[in-house]
Structure 1
Amino acid sequence: MAHRWKNDLTKEDVTPYAAFLNRRQIMAGLGGAAGLGLAGLTAGQAQAAGDEALEPNSWEDVTSYCNFYEFGTGKTDPAAYAGQMTTTPWSVEIDGMVDRPGSYSMEQILDAMTLEERIYRFRCVEAWSMVVPWQGFELADLLDVAGVQDGAKYVAFETLYRPSEMPGTAYKVLDWPYREGLRLDEARHPLTIMATGIFGKPLPNQNGAPLRLVVPWKYGFKSIKSIVRITLTDKEPPTSWNMANPREYGFYSNVNPSVSHPRWSQASERRIGGGLFARRQPTLMFNGYEKEVASLYEGMDLARNF
């Protein structure tokens, strides 16, 4: 039987932001290393180890070092320019192979969730990594609201495309709008969440307000931001980076340190917030969530299906 991770954290479990800042100052005075060595723990292990186990990066790290190419390709561009994006009102079109297609407002989505928004401490990884305290709900719950039809195999996502508010879209870095996709069983996994906030606060625009995907065992570009469309389909959907360069970016994009990007190794990563000379650390298979998600890929060649 596949191992299923169950998140039991609630809003009551999250450290208040002010207390979190104070604790970081105390830890910094003691040398600051206590929390960083635990960054590779899985979410389930972090729950068992307690609040200190998956020490988040700072608000500054999380909100100022971002990828959101609709606002520019520099890491600081999203924080500089995303404030002009209008996020209220907001709706998500859910269509394709669903029983109840339609335009769902953010208010309808949040009201329809059967569980209160929960707290998740997940690692995000590219060539760098950080730990983010997300709040949100399982994507599976939203899919159940729309009613997935038999025969659906994939979930496709689309980001807002509004050139008047997104200066990066003036450049053909990618084929806009931004698109992503998951296999249905990946989308329904309890680690796959729709995030609505960080640090107990609403998502800042540069982090994908008001609703973004988080898939912690995949590289960060799979976690599409500012979602306006979700489509259920029986065909593998096109994804932006795979469309742009299929040799370098596969559909699955699982964190697999044994498969190198054609232009660089993915065997190690650098933790954001550690300074210019931060030591690189080994990249973990499936970003440290191997126990939870490896069963999804049994029998697959993960070098061929990268």
Structure 2
Amino acid sequence: MAAYRYPQPRASEITPRSYFLSRRAVMAGVVGTTLALAGSEQVAQAATGTAQNASGWPAPEKPTPQNDVTHYNNFYEFGTDKGDPAELSGAFKPLPWSVQIDGLVDNPRTWALEDLLKQFGQEERLYRMRCVEAWSMVIPWNGFSLAALLKAAAPKMGARYVAFTSVLRPSEMPGQRRGLFALKWPYVEGLRLDEAMHPLTLLATGVYGETLPTQNGAPIRLVVPWKYGFKGIKSITRITVTDRQPPTSWNLMAPEEYGFYANVNPAVDHPRWSQASEQIIGEGSLFRTARKPTQLFNGYAEQVADLYQGMDLRKDF
């Protein structure tokens, strides 16, 4: 079980936006606790733009420096190096944008991004994120619950999974022109319906209180904090509710290495490296990398372990 508990906070406990936007303060780590605990609910909401019904499970660590969050990324549509997404995504045009919701739903619809934001709003959530390459960050996302959108779509009887499709624009995404890693484009992902409906599952449209940058999956991406990062499909164009387990890009490319569930599990190693510990991006020194033990379900076991009761987490990795 997780070493930490992640209760649903009051709005007054959410770290103000001014802290998130101050990289020096983030790196110094001197104002977070004070700002998170101080002030009235109205003051916190004014500072963050957070809705009254905001919810989240803040990570116990301080946020990763904003420059690292936006310049150390996996987004293979732009390239394989961690700096490629920030460097090579300038030609990508995230607006205007729409997301199609279809499949086994009573209310299929194509949503313009601005209508999604108007309907469902945004809230801030500070989540620990873990990459399959054994590095981690703590990221302040802005977005809305995927469950809210799915409830509006009204899944039909027999719906069991949710499939996601990313954008296909090889003229704007150099990685899609190169056929990297034998991945087939567009990128696709999937969740079980109950995972998708879990209150932790987020559709992110911003980070650090700002519009989501292209290198981080603009204009809308999936965030599932108890799973490895490759589940967080970026630049989503379509969400389909289905009765069958959908294909996922990395599982199609290397099923022995990347399972459908992709739950963070220190006891299940990647075939080519250990998952027992992780590098903490933004911490450590020139001579020593900051590392820590990996937690089951990335530290969110108390919230999500019941989704997998009776399952063999080594087999269903």
Shared fold, TM over 0.5: yes
In structure 2, the residue matched to 1:238 is: 247
Q: Does 1:120 align with 2:120?
A: no
Q: 1:133 aligns with which of 126, 129, 140?
A: 140
2:75–2:215 contact (8 Å) kept in structure 1:
yes
Q: Does 1:266 align with 2:268?
A: no
Given the two structures, how large is their TM-score scaled by the length of structure 2? 0.84
Q: Does 1:172 align with 2:179?
A: yes
What is the root-mean-square deviation of aligned Cα atoms in Å? 2.3
Q: 1:279 aligns with which of 272, 283, 290?
A: 290
Deviation at 1:106, TM superposition (A): 0.4
Counterparts of 1:1-150 in structure 2 under 5 Å? 6=8, 8-9=10-11, 13-17=15-19, 20-24=22-26, 26-27=28-29, 44=57, 46=59, 53-113=60-120, 116-126=121-131, 127-150=134-157
Q: 2:261 aligns with which of 252, 257, 261?
A: 252
2:29–2:62 contact (8 Å) kept in structure 1:
no
Read off the aligned partner of 1:16 and give its amino acid letter.
Answer: S
SS in 2 for 1:272: strand
Distance 1:210 1:11, change over 3 A: farther
Deviation at 1:21, TM superposition (A): 2.9
In structure 2, the residue matched to 1:186 is: 195
**Distance in 2 of aligned mates of 1:237 and 1:155:** 8
Given the two structures, how large is their TM-score scaled by the length of structure 1? 0.87
- Percent same amino acid at aligned positions? 54
SS in 2 for 1:292: helix
In structure 1, the residue matched to 2:207 is: 198
**Distance in 2 of aligned mates of 1:279 and 1:88:** 38
SS in 2 for 1:273: strand
**Distance in 2 of aligned mates of 1:169 and 1:240:** 13
Between 272-281 and 151-160, report the one with greater CA deviation. Answer: 272-281
1:157–1:230 contact (8 Å) kept in structure 2:
yes
Q: Structure 2: which 5+ runs fail to align? A: 31-55
Distance 1:58 1:6, change over 3 A: same
SS in 2 for 1:144: helix
Q: Structure 1: which 5+ runs fail to align? A: 29-42, 47-52
